[in-house]
Amino acid sequence: MKDTKLKILLIGYGKMGRAIETLARERGHSIVACISDKQIDIAHICKAYQPNIAFEFTSPESAPGNIKTLLQAGIPIVSGSTGWQGEWESIRKMALEKEGSLFHSSNFSLGMNLLFHLAEVAGQFMNLHPVYEVSIEEIHHTEKKDMPSGTAITLAERIMRSMKAKKSWVLNEDSTPDSIGILAQRQPNVPGTHTVSFSSPIDTIQLSHTAHSRLGFASGAVHAGEWLLGKHGVFSMEDLLADRFY
């Protein structure tokens, strides 16, 4: 019988890492090792502690190297690190070539992923009503390094899937007819707020998600780890939700 208990290597022990640790233990999983963003001898730690999964929530500078090392070691990975989109394709290719297991999401909250879906559906509707212009606003805590947030970029990408006129996004600039403007703000002690606005001279339609704590993100990440165990490939919350709820 397959062991469904996670033996977790936790890479990145900030607020998100600690929330994952708490929820994972509550669900009967074990944390075999915790390392900070600055510790780099991940391969040695994998050999010493024999995790069956790694949760990687670090920085844009550290994440690509961490993930590559874990793939080399054959450890399944759940990563929520953002800000390294430029290296995504090479890492995705590496994961597939090595028949590894990589689950990445810019946001693990179930509510936020529902907003992704609703924004994409709204974008499709707006093809019939080009009078509406779309914009995104995101607010995060002052410690967040990347701007805009990975979540805001995912929102823009999901809208661009369905809104034919939109080809790119721009940060804190006036948008053009073929781009989506993203306004990014940093304020103390804000887990994350994202708002999509469809505005016309007549009215404004808004879709918004406000996180009250990191527990929603952590819960989604732990569920992703449970779902990933035993699978091979590159996955996202879309895959998990399609499997569990659609």
Length of the chain: 246
Q: Check residue 141 and give its pLDDT.
A: 87
Structure tokens at 57: 């929530």
Over residues 18-42, the pLDDT tens digits come to: 999 999 999 999 999 999 866 568 9
Over residues 174-188, the pLDDT tens digits come to: 889 999 999 999 999
**pLDDT at residue 170 tops 80:** yes
CA distance 52 to 117: 31
Instruction: Kindly state the percentage of the chain with pLDDT values over 90.
Output: 78
The answer to whether the beta carbons of residues 72 and 43 sit under 8 Å apart is yes
Entry pTM: 0.83
The answer to whether the beta carbons of residues 234 and 105 sit under 8 Å apart is no
Closest C-alpha among 222, 242, 240 to residue 78: 222
Average pLDDT, the chain: 92
Q: Check residue 175 and give its pLDDT.
A: 85
**Amino acid code (one letter) for 222:** V
Q: Check residue 215 and give its pLDDT.
A: 87
Q: Which distant-in-sequence residues (6+ apart) come within 8 Å of 158 by Cβ?
A: 116, 117, 119, 120, 123
Domain definitions of the chain by residue range: 7-108+214-244, 110-210
Q: Give the three-class secondary structure for 36.
A: coil
pLDDT band per the 50, 70, 90 thresholds, residue 213: confident
The total of other beta-carbon atoms located within 10 Å of residue 213's CB is 10
Structure tokens at 179: 């781009």
* CATH of region 110-210: 3.30.360.10
Structure tokens at 54: 């790694």
Over residues 97-153, the pLDDT tens digits come to: 999 999 999 899 999 999 999 999 999 999 999 999 999 999 998 888 788 998 999
Over residues 66-104, the pLDDT tens digits come to: 999 999 999 999 999 988 989 999 999 999 999 999 999
Q: ω into residue 188 within 30 of 0, thus cis? A: no
Question: Topology of 7-108+214-244 in CATH?
Answer: Rossmann fold (3.40.50)
* Residues in a beta bridge with 171: 182
Q: Check residue 40 and give its pLDDT.
A: 67
| Catalytic residue IDs | 140, 144
CA distance 76 to 92: 13
